[in-house]
Amino acid sequence: MRLLGGDGPLKGGRLMVLGGANERKAAEGLKDVVPRSRFIDLAGKVDPVTAFACLKQARLFVGNDSGAMHLAAAAGAPTLGLFGPSDERRYAPWGPNARVVRGPRSFEEIAASDPGFGQALCHMMDLSVDRTYEAALALLAETEPHATRAAHPGTANG
């Protein structure tokens, strides 16, 4: 977790995991990524309204094309949508703080090589950690509270 690590832009931050009850097992695997005091496991534990309230406080959301991704964008959290076998032109998160990143292959290239999208996980593996990290850094820089203030003199941001 370079973002939350000692040299990361979110150093000392907390990792919140959202998802459905069927994703609880995957969330378990993340418990060793950050200290227990900095891990918030909400997978399968909260309703969408509660998730939305939590996302309103998030400094960054990183996740695949999902309901949680769209909820994060709607909450105004800086949202980085990870795309592979879905078309970001149709399913990208909406909002001024929402961005997408995909691997080196376009949606059309993936569709041509796997018309039935039977290898969805494989297609997501095209997206490297480095590419995702760079996109997250760019989004964090674009959404810094002081950057907003500088862009709109005279406005107060808390």
pLDDT tens digits, one per residue of 17-31:
999 888 888 888 888
The structural domains of the chain, ordered by start, are: 1-45 (no CATH), 60-145 (3.40.50.2000)
111, β-bridge pairs? none
The dihedral built from the CA positions of residue 11, 131, 42 and 74, taken in this order, carries a sign that is positive
What's the CA angle centered on 79, arms 68 and 158, to 5 degrees? 110
Question: What's the pLDDT score for residue 147?
Answer: 52
Q: Phi/psi at 37 (nearest 5 deg)?
A: -65, -15
Mean pLDDT of 122-136: 94
Is this prediction's pTM over 0.95? no
pLDDT tens digits, one per residue of 85-111:
999 999 999 999 999 999 999 999 999
